[in-house]
Amino acid sequence: MHLIPTSTIAFSLLLTNAVPAFAAPVFIEGVSESGGWYDVNKKTKWNDWPKVNALTPGQRPWQWTNLPYDNAMCWAAAGSNILQWWQDRIGVPATGASVPNGLAATASVNGLQYVSQLQIYQTICSNWTDGGSHVEQAWNWWFNGGALSTVSFPGSTTLTGTTSSGGYWKELDRTCTQNADASYDTSKLCKTSAFWNEPSKEAEFTELIKSYVNKNYGTTLSLSGAGGHAITLWGYEETASNGLVLYLTDSDDYKHGLFKQAVKMNDEGYLCLSSVDGEEERYAAFNSATGTGLYISEIQALTVPFTPVPEPSAFGLLTGTLALAALARRRKVTRC
Please classify residue 107 by burial: count the beta carbons closer than 10 Å to its beta carbon, then call 0-12 exposed, 13-18 middle and 19+ buried.
Answer: exposed
Measured distance between the N- and C-terminal CA atoms of the chain, rounded to whole angstroms: 68
* CA–CA distance, 140 with 156 (Å, rounded to integer): 17
Residue predicted with more confidence, 331 or 98: 98
Inform me whether the pLDDT recorded for 24 exceeds 80. Answer: yes
pLDDT tens digits for range 209-253: 999 999 999 999 999 999 999 999 999 999 888 899 999 999 998
Rounded percentage of the chain residues whose pLDDT exceeds 90:
58
Inform me whether the pLDDT recorded for 332 exceeds 70. Answer: no
Angle of the 119-127 helix axis to the 74-90 helix axis, nearest 10: 140
Produce one character per residue of 247-276: b if its CB has 16 or more CB atoms within 10 Å, e if not. Answer: bbbbbbbbbbebbbbbbbbbeeebbbbbbb
pLDDT tens digits for range 97-141: 589 998 876 555 555 555 667 889 999 999 999 999 999 999 999
| Structural domain spans, the chain | 32-328
Q: pLDDT averaged over the chain? A: 81
Produce one character per residue of 154-180: b if its CB has 16 or more CB atoms within 10 Å, e if not. Answer: ebebebeeeebebebbeebebbbeeee
253-261: average pLDDT: 88
Closest to 332 in 3D by CA, of 232, 226, 178: 226
Weakest-pLDDT range from 14-23, 92-101, 277-286, 294-303:
14-23
pLDDT on residue 69:
85
Q: Which fold has domain 32-328?
A: Cathepsin B; Chain A (3.90.70)
* CA–CA distance, 185 with 324 (Å, rounded to integer): 8
Inform me whether the pLDDT recorded for 52 exceeds 80. Answer: no
